[in-house]
């Protein structure tokens, strides 16, 4: 096997490396066009070219456009990513990434361009967590391009890292929370009131709550088995999937008072199913529509927002408006303020690691105490 250099222009050379013969006895070769001052410099570049090939590191320049490869990636993503993740990434692609990169070839996109793109969406006010999603998407696309041998390396690997800043969450103080729970006890919509109380008193994620089935509630031990998360996409409809992280599949001890309410609620659901007979469309979701179908993921947040607005119209002093997801933080900060052990809290919440918990709640830590002794405190 040998290599040689061919002059193409004043300062342009073609590097040629013969790598053997094919099944029909024809020469197989790899080529690369380079810019060099003279033939001597071109020969040095040929030696580097040959070494790169022999190490298996050389990837031939690809003429594939970013936009055309994205369609290949979409098919791969549908097979390998969660439907909700695919839906989110497709939205980012169509409205942000493709307008910025669609005119470029894959090999021409550099880490500098990616840094400029992230800087542009930062100036528009997108949060650091959203910026990270954009970076994750680009990295995912280029990982497939590297695997497909269309580019040599992933440019995102050299891009600037994003320091994700968690938004400051608002929570109730003890008196405010007691007041909210008391108002929920008076609410006519018992199902939604109970769903919100469950969020406040367990810190479960919304998708985890909506995925609960009757079999997940163990009333003999006052335990909830969290096995799934409910998601919805236009393309796939409702789907029960694995929760957010591996550690999210867990069993949690729950207040005996709250479990009594859940037991009563499930008994009502069972009666509803018997009365509906063949009209019952769903399965055995703890929280469901009147005919047993799952509740859409937007419903709890909308109901909670309207509940607060309604209470504030009827009362002389307003309740603080917090997001539905802040109920999870309410639960965690409440335990920490009572001296909860961060490792136990992390496992209870189903965080991917204790470092996640420390990033969010580390500044609130006090001395250790058992979680189980705290959950029933101040229950309404």
Residue ranges per structural domain of the chain? 3-54, 66-158, 174-364
The DSSP secondary-structure symbol of 247 reads G
Q: How confident is the model at residue 372 (pLDDT cuts 50, 70, 90)?
A: very low
pLDDT at res. 373:
53
pLDDT at res. 84:
82
Q: Which two tokens stand for residue 224?
A: 């909830």
**pLDDT surpassing 80 at residue 59:** no
Q: Nearest to residue 260, comparing CAs of 306, 198, 335?
A: 198
Q: 181: part of which helix (H) or strand (E)?
A: helix 174-185
Query: Is residue 326 a contact partner of residue 304, using CB atoms and an 8 Å limit?
Result: no
Q: Can you tell me the mean pLDDT for 345-367?
A: 61
Helix, strand or coil, per DSSP, at residue 295: coil
Query: Is residue 159 a contact partner of residue 114, using CB atoms and an 8 Å limit?
Result: yes
Of the ranges 17-26, 94-103, 169-178, 194-203, which one carries the lowest mean pLDDT score?
17-26
Query: Is residue 159 a contact partner of residue 134, using CB atoms and an 8 Å limit?
Result: no
Of the ranges 101-115, 178-192, 332-346, which one carries the lowest mean pLDDT score?
332-346
Q: Can you tell me the mean pLDDT for 112-130?
A: 92
Q: Nearest to residue 230, comparing CAs of 300, 175, 330?
A: 300
Q: Nearest to residue 80, comparing CAs of 170, 147, 6?
A: 147
Q: How confident is the model at residue 378 (pLDDT cuts 50, 70, 90)?
A: low
Q: Which two tokens stand for residue 225?
A: 């088995």
Nearest 5°: the CA angle 257, 262, 265 is: 130
Q: Can you tell me the mean pLDDT for 196-223?
A: 95
pLDDT at res. 351:
74
Q: Which fold has domain 66-158?
A: DNA polymerase; domain 1 (1.10.150)
Q: Nearest to residue 209, comparing CAs of 297, 307, 280?
A: 297
Residue 57 to residue 179: CA distance in whole angstroms: 65
Task: Work out the mean pLDDT of the chain and round it to a whole number.
Answer: 86
**pLDDT surpassing 80 at residue 253:** yes
Q: Nearest to residue 17, comparing CAs of 6, 28, 3, 27?
A: 3
Q: How confident is the model at residue 20 (pLDDT cuts 50, 70, 90)?
A: confident
Q: Can you tell me the mean pLDDT for 188-213?
A: 96
pTM of the model: 0.64
**pLDDT surpassing 50 at residue 369:** no
Query: Percent of the chain, pLDDT > 90?
Result: 50
Residue 141 to residue 76: CA distance in whole angstroms: 10
Of the ranges 51-65, 242-256, 338-352, which one carries the lowest mean pLDDT score?
51-65
**pLDDT surpassing 50 at residue 208:** yes
Q: How confident is the model at residue 53 (pLDDT cuts 50, 70, 90)?
A: confident
**pLDDT surpassing 90 at residue 43:** no
Q: Which is higher by pLDDT, 244 or 94?
A: 94
Q: Nearest to residue 17, comparing CAs of 40, 38, 1?
A: 1
Q: Can you tell me the mean pLDDT for 23-36?
A: 78
**174-364 has which CATH code?**
1.10.443.10
What strands, in cross-sheet order, belong to the sheet with 12-21?
3-7, 12-21, 27-35
């Amino acid at each position: 096997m040998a290599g040689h250099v061919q002059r193409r222009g004043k300062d342009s050379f073609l590097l040629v490396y013969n790598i053997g013969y094919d099944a029909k006895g024809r020469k197989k070769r790899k080529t690369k066009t380079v810019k060099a001052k003279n033939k001597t410099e071109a020969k040095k570049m040929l030696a580097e070219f040959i070494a790169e090939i022999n190490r298996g590191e050389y990837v031939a320049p690809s003429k594939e456009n970013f936009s055309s490869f994205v369609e290949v990636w979409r098919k791969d993503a549908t097979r390998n990513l969660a439907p909700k993740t695919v839906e989110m990434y497709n939205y980012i692609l169509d409205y942000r990434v493709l307008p910025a990169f669609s005119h470029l070839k894959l090999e021409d996109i550099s880490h500098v361009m990616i840094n400029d793109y992230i800087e542009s969406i930062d100036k528009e006010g997108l949060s650091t967590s959203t910026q990270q999603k954009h970076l994750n998407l680009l990295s995912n696309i280029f990982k497939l391009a590297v695997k497909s041998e269309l580019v040599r390396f992933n440019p995102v690997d050299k891009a600037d890292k994003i320091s994700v800043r968690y938004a400051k969450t608002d929570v109730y103080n003890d008196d405010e929370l007691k007041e909210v729970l008391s108002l929920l006890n008076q609410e006519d919509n018992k199902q939604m009131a109970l769903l919100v109380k469950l969020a406040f008193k367990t810190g479960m994620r919304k998708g985890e709550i909506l995925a609960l089935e009757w079999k997940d509630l163990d009333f003999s031990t006052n335990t909830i088995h969290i096995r799934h998360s409910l998601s919805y996409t236009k393309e796939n409809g409702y789907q029960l999937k694995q929760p957010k992280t591996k550690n999210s599949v867990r069993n949690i001890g729950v207040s005996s008072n709250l479990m009594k309410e859940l037991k009563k609620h499930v008994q009502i659901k069972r009666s509803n199913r018997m009365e509906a007979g063949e009209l019952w469309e769903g399965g055995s979701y703890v929280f469901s529509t009147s005919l047993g179908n799952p509740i859409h993921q937007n419903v709890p947040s909308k109901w909670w927002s309207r509940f607060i607005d309604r209470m504030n119209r009827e009362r002389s002093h307003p309740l603080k408006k917090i997001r539905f997801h802040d109920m999870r933080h309410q639960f965690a900060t409440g335990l920490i303020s009572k001296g909860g052990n961060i490792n136990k809290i992390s496992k209870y919440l189903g965080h991917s690691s204790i470092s996640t918990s420390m990033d969010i709640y580390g500044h609130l830590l006090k001395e250790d105490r058992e979680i189980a002794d705290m959950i029933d405190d101040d229950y309404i």
